[in-house]
Amino acid sequence: MTLEEMWKAVSENNASYDGIFFYAVKSTGIYCRPSCKSKTPKRENVCFFNTAEQARAEGFRPCKRCRSDLLDYKPIKEIAEKVKRRLGDSFRKSCKLNRELRQLGISQRRMAEIFKGEYGITLSKYMSNLRLKEAKRLLSDTNDEIINIAYSVGFDRLSSFYRFFKNGTGLPPAAYRKECRK
Ligand SMILES: [Zn+2]
């Protein structure tokens, strides 16, 4: 990898380089991951390292923002994909979902940021889309009671499901089902 390429990754906060190299800022004494959202430093103050240990050995301190000290901190993309996969597996049960996401070991806020950054959509919006899609499928392909469909896509109240569904499709669930069967 050339210095130019690394500098470009840093100036673009390019997360796909996370874990591949680190950069340190001489004026602050801090080292960061390429994706760090801190203000882009001046080029002449930056030096590059292959590993966090090398940066530390040169006397740089880890950044509190991108947590460049956490060795097991997975590259952003991997986290985003993991979150996405878990949402896909368990969006139906919000409590189970929260537990699953907690196991990833990063804060909700950070996770939301990562997800938004990677997919350009918020976690909750993504989850709503999954729920809506599944609800539509159940309404059109099954004869399940609407209340059961509401439960199975993660709602514990019929009224919130109605509101959610109507917002998403413009139709109440029963009317949507009727439309599908025409
Ligand atoms: Zn940083």
Q: Has residue 39 been placed in a domain?
A: yes
DSSP state of 92: T
Q: Has residue 69 been placed in a domain?
A: no
Same domain, 15 and 55: yes
The list of the chain residues with pLDDT below 50 reads 72
Contact 84, 115 (CB under 8 A): yes
Per-residue confidence (pLDDT) for residue 89, from 0 to 100: 73
Q: Has residue 172 been placed in a domain?
A: yes
Give kind and range of the element (H or E) at residue 121: none
What is the number of domains present in the chain? 3
CA distance linking residue 176 with residue 107, whole number of Å: 38
Output the CA 40–ligand 1 centroid distance in Å: 10
Domain of 146, in residue numbers: 132-181
pLDDT digits (tens, 9 = 90+) for 85-98: 887 777 776 656 66
Same domain, 120 and 139: no
Output the CA 35–ligand 1 centroid distance in Å: 8
Looking up tokens 């919130």 gives 160
Q: Please give the positions annotated as active site.
A: 32
CATH number for the domain spanning 157: value is 1.10.10.60
pLDDT digits (tens, 9 = 90+) for 120-134: 888 888 888 989 999
CATH number for the domain spanning 53: value is 3.40.10.10
Per-residue confidence (pLDDT) for residue 159, from 0 to 100: 95
Q: Has residue 51 been placed in a domain?
A: yes
Per-residue confidence (pLDDT) for residue 96, from 0 to 100: 63
Output the CA 157–ligand 1 centroid distance in Å: 43
Per-residue confidence (pLDDT) for residue 118, from 0 to 100: 82
Contact 140, 177 (CB under 8 A): yes
Output the CA 22–ligand 1 centroid distance in Å: 9
Per-residue confidence (pLDDT) for residue 176, from 0 to 100: 96
The token duo for 141 is: 């392909």
Q: Has residue 67 been placed in a domain?
A: no
